[in-house]
Amino acid sequence: MPEPTPTPGTVERLIGELNRLPGIGPKSAQRLAYHLLRASADDVRCLAEALTALKERTRLCSICCNVTDSDPCNICRSEQRNKEQICIVEQPQDILAIEHTGAYHGRYHVLHGAISPTEGVGPDNVRISHLMRRLDSDHASEVILATNTNFEGETTAMYLTRLIAPLNIMVTRLARGLPFGTELEYADDVTLTRALEGRQSF
């Protein structure tokens, strides 16, 4: 019988930790661990420190609930952002995507989730009450719903629309339709139906 395993404890432990990350299987974890073994001590230290800092230095912005090093976050603090526009997203990374377009100059609100009756996530489990207090005090003129276009995102958008409607604030949501570069014959039925329903004059 061969010995159980030749992997030294330390490397094996790192492979195990990496393997727990989403999208990183056993083979990738192994490849990463051996890459890091060959990498410079400085590089590995930088990565370890960045990980430690993640939990120690970040918090949620008290205004928009985005992840931030300083409170309020850069966007909420900025004088160049339109304070009356609030774009509601499910996750902090959604802000990255919208900022990357350069097409939005208002502020955000991060719900940190979406209402999902099937998974037992109700309105109280996402940051909706925080949003409602904020709408009241911020004199918002427009709320843009930028939740995902799946069942949970739609449910959340509908719930918020009903909640905000009485406040005399304009509620809009991101347009649905054909994504850039689509060939019509390959578009799915729901997308095509929504593109038809939302057709614009040309």
Euclidean distance between the first and final Cα of the chain, in Å? 76
Task: In whole angstroms, give the CA distance from residue 92 to residue 181.
Answer: 27
The CA-CA-CA angle for residues 115, 119, 24, to 5°, reads 100
Our CB check for a copy of itself shows the closer of 43 and 136 to be 43
Cβ 129 to a copy of itself, closest distance in Å?
A: 21
Q: Within its chain, how far is the Cα of 36 from the centroid? A: 29
Give the residue with the Cβ less far from a copy of itself, 9 or 120.
9
- Shortest gap between Cβ of 189 and a copy of itself (angstroms)? 27
Closest CA to 175 of 140, 141, 201, 200: 200
The minimum distance between CB 123 and a copy of itself, in angstroms, equals 20
**Based on CB atoms, which residue is closest to a copy of itself, 33 or 146?**
33
Closer to a copy of itself by Cβ: residue 96 or 196? 96
CB of 150 to a copy of itself, least distance (A): 17
35 vs 133 by CB, closer to a copy of itself: 35
Give residues in contact with a copy of itself (CB under 8 A).
Answer: 1-3, 5-11, 13-14, 16-18, 20-24, 28, 30-37, 41, 43-55, 57-58, 66-70, 73-75, 78, 80-81, 91-93, 95-96, 99, 102, 104-105, 108
> Which two three-digit tokens encode residue 126?
């996402």
Q: Closest distance between a copy of itself and the C-beta of residue 26, in Å?
A: 10
Q: Is 116 helix (H, G, I), strand (E, B) or coil?
A: strand
- Residue 199 CB, nearest approach to a copy of itself (Å): 29
Pairing of strands 82-89, 142-145: parallel
Nearer to a copy of itself, 41 or 184 (CB): 41
Q: Decide: 19 and 26 in contact? Cβ < 8 Å.
A: yes
DSSP class per residue in 45-98? HHHHHHHHHHHHH-EE-TTT--EESSSS-HHHH-TTSEEEEEEEESSHHHHHHH
